[in-house]
Structure 1
Amino acid sequence: MKSSWLDWMRPYQKEHLQGDISAGLIVAVMLIPQGMAYAMLAGMPPVTGLYAAAIPILIYAMIGSSRQLAVGPVAVVSLLVFAGVSPLAEPGSGEYVTLAVLLMLMVGVIQLLMGVFRLGFITKFFSHAVISGFTSAAAIVIAFSQLKHVVGIPLESSQPAGAATEAVMQFSSWNWAAVGLSAAGIAMILAAKRFIPMMPGPLAAVLLGIGTVIWFNLDGGGVSIIGEVPGGLPALSLPSVTGEAALALLPTALTISFIGFMESFAMAKVIAAKEKQYVSADRELSGLGAANIGGSFFGGFPVTGGFSRSAVNYDAGAKTPLASVITAVLLLLTLQFFTGAFYYLPNAILASVIIVAVYKLIDWREAIALMKLRRADGAVWLITFAATLLIGVEQGIFIGIGASLAVFIWSSAYPHTAELGWLEESGAYRNVKRYPHAEEAEGIFMLRIDAPLYFANAAFVESKIEEGLKARPQTKQVILDFSGVNSIDAVAVHELESWERMLRDREMELKIVDMKGPVRDILRKAGWQENRLYLTMQDSYQTAHIY
């Protein structure tokens, strides 16, 4: 069942109201510090995190297909914003904000068009190994990007190793008040999560940080605070669009569009499965696209559905998007009346909010599991992780995708094949390497091909046939089991014809069995006679009068 504002508003059930109000309040309390922290991570003024949290979540509630997804700023997307825009302008400057707003508009347009033209399937080409390796490395990059706020001194390097080295070299200059605030913030958030789950740890850390700075006058001692936060509702304005800027931001916009959608859709599916609801990939793209487009007219930066906030929203009792509407209203009230309360908020506390939020994204267990299950997937994880960590977040994701595609091409160009023999106890033909006692008929070489047959792997299959014939010089008949061949291209058809001629010249016969319908259709079009296309291995044997 798809969801829009009419789907859930018209038949709204009163028993859902309490859960929606509770969830909306809790997510709003959670989003205030997170939104400001992720704005800082994105290189934006803190108040833009509230803009990016309030407007898009309201728009998504009207269009999206998930009833519990909480849309807003997230750590990985914020890092991608910083990585894509910082080479073009000084973070925090007016030009930087203008480019980030344009980036949000571009992400929205890309996602909306993908939804309209039903292109959600494209993201399936991003393998799980790539996404896991990327997010794990990005989490480390994000954590180390906050090191300057944790130790309270400026650090030039944007790479984790460089930032850590600088921090160690300047150990004597550390601001220990900032270090203490960061440690206290992390401890409070983790303690609240473990011992008092209903208490919003990030907000408690924010209140602790503000109170400590005021009480001990820490801003006068060098502790960095966010300072003046502009009050009032976000003003409506048109994003500034130039061809040169759009072209420069296009790779980042595409990356955020895909990564943001996959993170959002994955969480939406998890919740929908629990609630036995339906979420549409194309509807999600349209909803996220509209949310980003709408947010760009109010000075935000790219957003998507977040894992942690969506989980909190669901666990707190959200049953309909009304919870998101309530969250948006509370955020707007905060912007209108309470931004002055954040003047003394230390950046060290915002850093602690970010660090706690991203540490759980580092998934070593997934890397180990992939390595155990299939080393090629484990290698893709490691390549993506290393490239993201050592080269850059944007480059890392594309290198990972390239590695994933290379593994796919390699495996399809060198497919699994198996020499077959008759296994009496199971009454079937089996791989003789796995079943050494399977009986191989004299004068017959049987080979099963477990992949589509096309131009890139036809030569490899031919080499396997040659290897088999060399090992069995008395062969009179070659039987190819096509039960694993789902498709065949024109080049491979010509290769089959050349194999047949080659074997005929050697006084051997080629037979093809267990052919699927689409493959049979193509061979018929190529002129192959029906009596040469055997349905089963037994048919080929009976024709040859062997058994």
Structure 2
Amino acid sequence: MTEQDPGPTGGADRLDRHPAIDYGLDAKGEQWFLKALQAATPGLTFLLQRFQRGWLRTDLLAGLAVAAYLVPQVMAYSAIVGVPPVAGLWTALAAMLVYAVMGGSRVLSVGPESTIALLTGLAIAPMAGGDPGKLATLAAALSLIIGFWCLVGRVLRLGVVADLLSQPLLVGYLAGAAVLMVVGQLGKVTGTTVQGESLVDQMVSFTRGLNGTHLATLWVALGTLALILLIHFLLPKWPAALIGVAAATVAYGVFDWGRLGVKAVGAVPDGIPVPSIPVLSVGELKALLVVGLGVAVMAYSDNMLIARGFPAPALPGERPSERDVDPQSELVALGGVHVAVGLIGGFPVSSSGSRTALAIASGARTQVYSLAAAAVVVVVLLVAGPILQWMPQAALGAVVLYAATKLVQVSQFRRLWGFRRREFALALVTLFGTVFYGILAGVGIAIALSLLEMGIRLARPHDAVLGRVPGLAGMHDVTDYPGAQTLPGLIIYRFEAPLFFANVGELRRRVQLVIDRETEAYPDAPPRWFLLNVEANTEVDITAADGLRELQGDLAAQGVLLGLVRLKRDLYEPLRRAGVVDLIGEDMCFPTLPVAEEAFVEWARTHPRVVG
């Protein structure tokens, strides 16, 4: 088109052009720092640009409701890690404040979570040697290391890790974590000493020490648990855990349970800790780097699954995509949270589905509810120390047992059984792997099984021979339609998976099976063309390309021509570079199924089959 050519808009009715604008596609100029800051702080950006004053009341009320549920919960989770209960409050405070600024979800409740707490406790306990101070240092250091791995994951764009845990594996993993949580609290709720690192060792130790059960401690735990469950079922909107623990604390002081030997939390530090960097030996650092990677994967997976499972309520005029949580940005947010938590002496966190659901049910629209809950935590830290020291440890153990009951999703096991037995079996394998090999190994088993299952599906995908169905447009799987028809001498076959090293051998076996069946069924009209419908074959590696060359040789030895149908450019180019296109011929590559059928009919007319 020349400068004088008015182009497609020329003439009397042409549209006048207007100046082009800057669409922001080229990130240059002096605003790059501002753009990077906004990308790293989506929560703060939303609050500054879009928060409406009318939301403040419901967000504040939701924050109070979440805080009432959160305070006893996070203190109980501290016991799982093995650190003082006040560390749970420090951790929750830092996590809520930082995520409100850096997080992409408007309603996600980030902070201490049972499975991550258990994973942390099991990972650092052998390194601490029973020293509470060492446990606190290791927990804080592990938080910093998780923050490091999250930021590394963002640089490498590893947000896809969240998709490696399929639903069956998560169901089994959470159930296994619940078993470990219960076993981990047996000593606290019975007043006995339970030793051992494995589940079997701990159960043996618990059984041997049953005769030494402290009955007063056991009754406190059972009574607190019974009260929590009763409130949960009768008044589900009430903060059952807070009421149960508060009642146990009041009863401890009124009835002087300390005189009976019931252990309490004891002195609780006042105020908020000063940020500091935990000191580790080189050996401890190396060990925590490995452990931290596994915990980071699980914490991030939990975060993304709960963020997707509890989307924020829609706002007026908001596009659905604006409610989506960016997996890559969440890596930065989770990394920032863990850095803050580690600096104030906390322990690794994730997100809580129960607290998030409570926030939504209470009307929360933005992370202002988390800021309100954080303010309540500050008040508790500043003025509630003398009250918290009378809190029975057995009551906190009861809160952990209550949390464990929520992790065992019996309905999900039933659903998997009814849907597909194989997925039910995967859930059971993950459950037992987590229980008997530990929660960190359970994470590895879950991811390995996810990858194995995906590999099996890709290596043994669904396939189909396509034919015409009278009265129905298009071509369809002949297995689905008993009245389907095919052209004599022509087989159109679809292999529904990317082609790669693990399934090209299966492709060749399936193709030969189809050829043999067709020849057996129609000996007077055996196959002459075999057209591979590659619309589902979006990828190919060099092994698969070589396998197609070998397939062409097998078919040629039987007098059958190989062709490709629905060949896209993304697949055509690697097949051309591998020599597959030249081998089968450009004339045997067809853009559509009707074109391929017409080409075969014309070819068959000019190439009659020689009999004899």
Same fold judged by TM-score > 0.5? yes
In structure 1, C-alpha distance between the alignment counterparts of 2:155 and 2:541, rounded to whole Å: 32
User: Which position in structure 2 is the counterpart of 1:94?
Assistant: 133
1:149 equivalent in alignment to 2:188: yes
Indicate if the aligned counterparts of 2:270 and 2:383 stay in contact, CA closer than 8 A.
yes
- For 1:460, give the aligned amino acid: E
User: Which position in structure 1 is the counterpart of 2:144?
Assistant: 105
SS across alignment from 1:478: strand
User: Which position in structure 2 is the counterpart of 1:80?
Assistant: 119
In structure 2, C-alpha distance between the alignment counterparts of 1:316 and 1:501, rounded to whole Å: 67
Of 356, 360, 363, which residue of structure 1 is paired with 2:406? 360
- Structure 1 residues 246, 128: CA separation in 2 closer, same or farther (over 3 Å shift)? farther
SS across alignment from 2:476: strand
User: Which position in structure 2 is the counterpart of 1:63?
Assistant: 102
In structure 2, C-alpha distance between the alignment counterparts of 1:522 and 1:170, rounded to whole Å: 67
Shift of 1:242: 4.0
Indicate if the aligned counterparts of 1:376 and 1:407 stay in contact, CA closer than 8 A.
no
1:514 equivalent in alignment to 2:566: yes
1:247 equivalent in alignment to 2:283: no
User: Which position in structure 2 is the counterpart of 1:212?
Assistant: 251
In structure 2, C-alpha distance between the alignment counterparts of 1:139 and 1:220, rounded to whole Å: 33
Shift of 1:432: 3.5
In structure 2, C-alpha distance between the alignment counterparts of 1:455 and 1:144, rounded to whole Å: 45
CA RMSD of aligned residues (A): 2.5
Shift of 1:6: 4.2
Deviations 1:184-214 (A, max 9, x none): 2112222223333443222211222122222
User: Which position in structure 2 is the counterpart of 1:290?
Assistant: 336
Shift of 1:351: 0.9
Shift of 1:369: 2.5
Equivalent pairs counted in the alignment come to 547
Of 487, 491, 494, which residue of structure 1 is paired with 2:546? 494
Of 475, 478, 496, which residue of structure 2 is paired with 1:450? 496
1:304 equivalent in alignment to 2:350: yes
Q: Which moved more, 1:4-13 or 1:375-384?
A: 4-13
Indicate if the aligned counterparts of 2:107 and 2:312 stay in contact, CA closer than 8 A.
no
User: Which position in structure 1 is the counterpart of 2:59?
Assistant: 20
- For 2:246, give the aligned amino acid: L
In structure 1, C-alpha distance between the alignment counterparts of 2:513 and 2:460, rounded to whole Å: 15
Indicate if the aligned counterparts of 1:238 and 1:297 stay in contact, CA closer than 8 A.
yes
Indicate if the aligned counterparts of 2:92 and 2:112 stay in contact, CA closer than 8 A.
yes
In structure 1, C-alpha distance between the alignment counterparts of 2:96 and 2:130, rounded to whole Å: 25
TM-score, normalised by the number of residues in structure 1? 0.92
Q: Which moved more, 1:361-370 or 1:32-41?
A: 361-370
Could you tell me which runs of 5 or more consecutive residues in structure 1 were left unpaired when the two chains were aligned.
Answer: none
1:215-294 alignment runs, 5 A limit? 215-275=254-314, 277-294=323-340
SS across alignment from 1:86: helix
- For 2:532, give the aligned amino acid: L
In structure 1, C-alpha distance between the alignment counterparts of 2:283 and 2:400, rounded to whole Å: 33
Q: Which moved more, 1:80-89 or 1:120-129?
A: 120-129
- For 1:390, give the aligned amino acid: F
- Structure 1 residues 186, 121: CA separation in 2 closer, same or farther (over 3 Å shift)? same
1:39-58 alignment runs, 5 A limit? 39-58=78-97
Deviations 1:84-127 (A, max 9, x none): 10121134522221111100111112223334554322322232
Q: Which moved more, 1:353-362 or 1:470-479?
A: 470-479
Of 60, 71, 82, which residue of structure 2 is paired with 1:32? 71
- Structure 1 residues 69, 411: CA separation in 2 closer, same or farther (over 3 Å shift)? closer
1:283-432 alignment runs, 5 A limit? 283-432=329-478
Which protein has the larger Cα radius of gyration, Structure 1 or Structure 2? 2
SS across alignment from 1:135: helix
Indicate if the aligned counterparts of 1:48 and 1:299 stay in contact, CA closer than 8 A.
yes
User: Which position in structure 1 is the counterpart of 2:318?
Assistant: none
User: Which position in structure 2 is the counterpart of 1:174?
Assistant: 213
SS across alignment from 1:448: strand
User: Which position in structure 1 is the counterpart of 2:531?
Assistant: 479
- Structure 1 residues 12, 181: CA separation in 2 closer, same or farther (over 3 Å shift)? same
Deviations 1:494-540 (A, max 9, x none): 33233223332332222222323322333344343432102233333
In structure 2, C-alpha distance between the alignment counterparts of 1:271 and 1:455, rounded to whole Å: 39
Q: Which moved more, 1:390-399 or 1:208-217?
A: 208-217
Q: Which moved more, 1:157-166 or 1:274-283?
A: 157-166
Indicate if the aligned counterparts of 2:43 and 2:99 stay in contact, CA closer than 8 A.
no
Q: Which moved more, 1:272-281 or 1:390-399?
A: 272-281
- For 1:247, give the aligned amino acid: K
- For 1:110, give the aligned amino acid: W
Shift of 1:78: 0.4
- For 1:217, give the aligned amino acid: D
- For 1:419, give the aligned amino acid: V
Indicate if the aligned counterparts of 1:485 and 1:516 stay in contact, CA closer than 8 A.
no
1:470 equivalent in alignment to 2:504: no
Shift of 1:248: 0.5
Indicate if the aligned counterparts of 2:82 and 2:121 stay in contact, CA closer than 8 A.
yes
Q: Which moved more, 1:97-106 or 1:61-70?
A: 61-70
User: Which position in structure 1 is the counterpart of 2:47?
Assistant: 8
In structure 2, C-alpha distance between the alignment counterparts of 1:9 and 1:468, rounded to whole Å: 64
Shift of 1:40: 0.5
User: Which position in structure 1 is the counterpart of 2:17?
Assistant: none
In structure 2, C-alpha distance between the alignment counterparts of 1:423 and 1:445, rounded to whole Å: 15
Indicate if the aligned counterparts of 1:481 and 1:513 stay in contact, CA closer than 8 A.
yes
Q: Which moved more, 1:483-492 or 1:139-148?
A: 483-492
4+ residue segments displaced more than 6 Å = none
1:540 equivalent in alignment to 2:601: no
Could you tell me which runs of 5 or more consecutive residues in structure 2 were left unpaired when the two chains were aligned.
Answer: 1-38, 316-322, 521-525, 606-612
Indicate if the aligned counterparts of 1:147 and 1:163 stay in contact, CA closer than 8 A.
no
Shift of 1:428: 4.0
SS across alignment from 1:65: coil
In structure 1, C-alpha distance between the alignment counterparts of 2:50 and 2:495, rounded to whole Å: 55
Determine what percentage of the aligned residue pairs are the same residue. Answer: 27
In structure 2, C-alpha distance between the alignment counterparts of 1:14 and 1:138, rounded to whole Å: 42
Indicate if the aligned counterparts of 2:105 and 2:312 stay in contact, CA closer than 8 A.
no
Q: Which moved more, 1:142-151 or 1:238-247?
A: 238-247
1:505 equivalent in alignment to 2:557: yes
In structure 1, C-alpha distance between the alignment counterparts of 2:493 and 2:46, rounded to whole Å: 56
1:121 equivalent in alignment to 2:121: no
